Structure 1
Amino acid sequence: MPRPAPLLPHQTDGIFLTDGGNETWLMYKRGFELPHFSAFHLLSDPVATEAVREYYRHFAELAVRFGTPFIFCSMTYRASRDWGRLLGYSGEGLAEMNRRCLDLYREVASEAGLPPEKTVISGCIGPKGDAYGTGHRLGAAEAEDYHAEQIATFREAGAHVVTALTLNSVEEATGIARAARAARLPSAISFTLEKDRKLATGATLEEAIAAVDAATESSPAYYMVNCSHPLDFGPALPRAPWAGRIRGIRANASTLDHGTLCQLGHLEESDPDELAAQYRELRAAHPEMNVFGGFCGTDYVHIAKIAEALLAPA
């Protein structure tokens, strides 16, 4: 019997939870080394795989507790061709790791008691290069060709949606959206902002969304913001029609800039209650937002507080 297909965030007004910063949790809470900030390869180690299960099981149990769907955003941020080669993976081996990630989430959802109709499997894509740099920028056609390989694997593995995180380039976002459309998968495009409330490549969030929509016939199902703090990206979200395209946020726990965070050598978790209050303010200002998770420095403690704040009576 086929599994019931879940509704996706752009198909309903209901709140969806997703995870936090899996890489920072695995590094600083469990002590695993992540070469090239890559987590997917941990699934080759039984001990590390159990830690990954523990991490995602906590989130799935939160979704069961709060009665929301949960988006398993796969730990494949660095599981694309160039990053895979740096870690010694062949094309076939890399595709197998992408599939293994998605299979694990179905198992975790079942273990946590999360029903299929509330289990959203998202294939996660990261940038081809440095998410915070402005060196070589892919053209849209080059980005489409590069990312199509991983997206095809997600489709074969039964993903419901493709989520591209920490993008700073309109061209790469355009290519990913086109590749997802060609694979007949909805896409969520998530940009990251700097302290000046712009992408590192110079565009404002409004300009970036408008450009991608214009180049793709508005093919992304929705947009997100991640790897920034609400104090930084909140002011870039006016009550305007274009901002209604943004349905999700995955904020960093800390207000520190990207460069500083990457060099700290320890975890900045900040105050989960304060972050939850900021999420509630964002949701009040932008009621179309319905995907909530975290990023660097956050884990299930933060997401539990966020869920409590968002689902509490007005």
Structure 2
Amino acid sequence: MKNNRTDLCNSLHSFQRSGAMVATAALTLFAASCNQGSQGDFSVDKATGVQYKFIKHNENGAKPAAGDYAQVEMIFKTDKDSVIMNTQTMRRRPGDTSHGIPIPLKFNFAGCLEQGITLMAAGDSALFRINADSLFVKQFQMKKLPPYIHPGSYLTFQVKLLYFQTQQQMQQMRQAMMAKRQAEAEAMKAQENPSIEKYLADHHYNVKPNADSLYVLKKTSGKGQEIKDGDTVTVAYTGRLLSGQGFDSSTAAHGPYKFAYSANAPAIKGWILALKGGHLGDKQTILIPSALGYGQYGMGNAIPPYSPLIFDMEVLKVEKGQAAGNGKAKKK
């Protein structure tokens, strides 16, 4: 498979991996269009060959052109009315409030969906009939049709055009978003040390960072075997932000974290330093600055950039030999 597949194809593959294939017509963007779809219902654009039927249409509205980017909500169905993709039900990361998917308007074959979208104005809703063979072979560059697609059949796309942008506008928007994220990250960086000081004061911890820049808030030393390089350690833990919001715990399904201890172990630097010279049975609560945690990037939506972390840790087992990691707090 080549690397120049469209956003539409990538979104389709993502949707199928999520297990969201459903054989029902109940998931529709437009309830009024549930029973549409025979060829006789559609008009044909003479210039492109696109088969279309408008549900809502602003004839005088500005239309996108080839090379623009269209943001759409869409349902993509087989000739048997089975839903292949519904952008409204696609799995997203927590906190993601975006709508629809972006589609670059590149024309891959006569009568393609992208040509159909150029007939629409922002806010329009329409149905399109697209040849399945052309879509999957010419556009998605698949060697053969998926088993649920019949050769020679037509697929129905129910599309709402949310808005469209030129390439220049899209680039400017992306640059603005990157600048905003950078500014937010810099603000978080500036607040890290004050937030640590406030946390220590609010919780009455009179501690300073140790030689490794860790804040050891509590510690009960164990009497067991000392941890040395190459030993396999098993650690129970709970991780949370200074706000108290938890982001991971060994009480979850994956259980305690077992890994081969070394300076290059598959764990954040703060963990490696916290366990250095430790013993079986050690229990401690540590505050890890972001430089020893997930740094300027954070970890998804769970850990923002430049976030200090609190970990409750207990060394459950120390044994000779190495084992592959099976838990969290890993390196990025």
Q: Computing the radius of gyration over CA atoms, which structure comes out larger, 1 or 2?
A: 2
Please state which structure has a larger fraction of its residues in strand: 2
Please state which structure has a larger fraction of its residues in helix: 1
TM-score of the pair, normalised by structure 1:
0.20
* Relative contact order, higher structure (CA 8 A, sep 6+): 1
